[in-house]
Amino acid sequence: MTTARKDRPARARAALDAALPAPGAPRLLAVSWLVKTIGSGLYLTTSTLFFTRVVGLPVHQVASGLTVAGIAALAGAVPLGTLADRFGPRRTYTVLLGVQFATMAALALARTFPAFLTLILVFLLAEQGSTAARGALVATVGEGAERVRLRAYLRVVTNIGITVGAAASALVIQADTEAGYMALLWCTALTYPGAAVPLWWLRTDQTRPAGTSERTGSGWQVLRDRRYAAVTLICGVLSLQAQVLSFAVPLWVLQHTEAPPVLVSGIVAVNTVLVICLQIRFSRGAEDDGRAARMCRNSGMALFIACVLVAFTGGLGGWSATVLLLLFAAALTFGELWLSAGSFGLSFSLAPDGKHGQYQGFFSLGRGAATAVAPALIAALCLGDHPRAGWLVLGTLFIVAGAAAPLALRVRGTAALEPSRSTASE
C-alpha cells in the first residue's frame, strides 16, 4: 500500500508528460503558440466592434477592407516562406511577430479608412508569413510522427487559446466602452512579443536555417510540384468546413430552423471540446502518406454526412432540429479532425528538406483561398432560395475532394523532387 502511494506522484508526472508536448523545443513552441492564440481570441471577438464603434468606420468598409487585404496578403505566402528557408524559421518568425506587434499597436491609433486598410494589409501579410515560418519551425524540431504530433498539439492549443481569449473579452463587450476596446487591442498587440519570448530558449541546432540542408531544384520549387499543388487544392476545398461553422451555422440556425438560438453556442462548444479531446488521437499515423490521404478521404465522407444532416433541419420542430444539429456538429467536427490530421502529415512529408518554408507558405494558400471565397459560395448554395439542394451540392463537393486525396499521391511531382524521394525510401 505504501509503495502504491509512493508511485502515485511518479504516475501523475508520467501522465502529465504524456499529455504535454515533449520537453525542450516542442514545449516552448506550444507555450509561444498559446500566448499568440489568446491574442487571436481577443482580436477575433472584438476587432469588428473596435473598427466600427471606436474608429467609426461603416460595416461595409470594414468588411471590404478585410476582404481586399486578406486576398492581397495571399501573395506573400511563398516569398515569406522562402525567407524562412534562407534565414532560418525561428529568426523569420520572430521578426514577423514584431511586425504584427507594431501594426496591431498602430491600428489602435488608426482613425481613417486608408490607415486601417494599409495597416491591416501589412498585418495579414505578416500573419501569412508567420504561418509558413511556424510550419518550417515545426519541421526543424522533429521528423515524421514527431512533427505530426507537435502540429496536433498546436491545433489543440489553438482551440484552448482562442477560447480563453474570447472568454476574457466578454466583459469588455458587455461594458461596450471605447476605453475597454482600446485596452483590449493593446493587450492583443502585446501577445505578439509575448509569443516571441519562448523562442529565445530554443536550441540553435534545432532552429538552424533550413536552407543549410541539401537543396534540390532552384527558385520557388513548390510552384512546379504538381503533387503538392493537388494536395493543397484538395485540402483547401475540404477546409471550407471552417467557414460552415463560423459563417453558415449562426445564420442557418437563426433564420432557417426552429431550434433555440442558444444552440449556435452549443454547436461551437461541441466542436471545441471534441477538437481539444480528440485531435492528438486522430493524428496518430498521419506521418504515413497513404494513411494521411485516407484521413482526408474520411474527412470528405464525414463532411458529406454533416451536410446531409443539416439539409433536413429546415422546417423541423425545435427538438427534432436540435437533435439533428447536434449530430451535424459531431459529424462536422470529425471531418475537421480527420482533415487536420491528414493535412498535417501530407504538408510535411511531401515537402523536401530545406524547403519547408516555401512549401508551408504555398500550402496555406489553399485554406486562405477557401476563406476568401467561402462566404459568397456558402451564401449562394446554402442560404439562398433552395438551401436543401445547396447543402447537398456542398456535401458532394466535400466527398469528391476527399475521394481525390489518395489519387493525388499518384501524381508525379517535379523532376527535381523525384530522385530525392526515391532515395529516401530506399
- Looking at the chain, the domain(s) classified CATH 1.20.1250.20 span 21-211, 221-425
Tell me how far apart the alpha carbons of residues 111 and 178 are, in angstroms, rounded to a whole number: 13
Tell me how far apart the alpha carbons of residues 126 and 120 are, in angstroms, rounded to a whole number: 10
Q: What is the model's pLDDT at position 64? A: 85
Tell me how far apart the alpha carbons of residues 159 and 104 are, in angstroms, rounded to a whole number: 22
In degrees, to the nearest 5, what angle opens at C-alpha 364 toward C-alphas 213 and 34? 85
**Phi, psi of 113, rounded to the nearest 5 degrees:** -65, -45
Q: What is the model's pLDDT at position 7? A: 55
> What fold is seen in the domain 221-425?
Growth Hormone; Chain: A; (1.20.1250)
Amino acid letter at 191?
A: T
What are the distances in angstroms from CA 46 to CA 146, 169, 181? 35, 7, 7
Specify whether the backbone of 378 is left (phi greater than 0), alpha (psi in -120 to 50) or beta. Answer: alpha
b/e map 381-412, b = 16+ CB within 10 Å: bbbeeebbebbbebbebbbebbebbeebeeee
Q: What is the model's pLDDT at position 4? A: 52
DSSP state at residue 415: T
Contact 276, 368 (CB under 8 A): no
Contact 192, 36 (CB under 8 A): yes
In degrees, to the nearest 5, what angle opens at C-alpha 278 toward C-alphas 263 and 154? 100
Amino acid letter at 138?
A: V
Q: How many CB atoms lie within 10 A of CB 415?
A: 10
Tell me how far apart the alpha carbons of residues 195 and 218 are, in angstroms, rounded to a whole number: 33
Contact 76, 362 (CB under 8 A): no
Cell numbers given for 358? 516555401
Tell me how far apart the alpha carbons of residues 306 and 310 are, in angstroms, rounded to a whole number: 6
Regions of the chain short of the pLDDT cut 70: 1-19, 203-219, 413-426
Record the pTM.
0.82
Task: Just give the CATH number of 21-211.
Answer: 1.20.1250.20
What are the distances in angstroms from CA 182 to CA 173, 280, 408? 12, 37, 48
Q: What is the model's pLDDT at position 413? A: 64
Q: What is the model's pLDDT at position 327? A: 96
pLDDT digits (tens, 9 = 90+) for 335-357: 999 999 999 999 999 999 888 99
Q: What is the model's pLDDT at position 18? A: 54
Smallest Cα–Cα separation from 185: which of 112, 101, 99, 97?
Answer: 101
Contact 271, 332 (CB under 8 A): yes
Q: How many CB atoms lie within 10 A of CB 264?
A: 17
Tell me how far apart the alpha carbons of residues 149 and 283 are, in angstroms, rounded to a whole number: 7
Contact 100, 130 (CB under 8 A): yes
Smallest Cα–Cα separation from 209: which of 84, 22, 50?
Answer: 84
Contact 317, 311 (CB under 8 A): no
Q: Would you say the C-alpha torsion 45, 47, 52, 54 has a positive or negative sign? A: positive
Amino acid letter at 177?
A: T
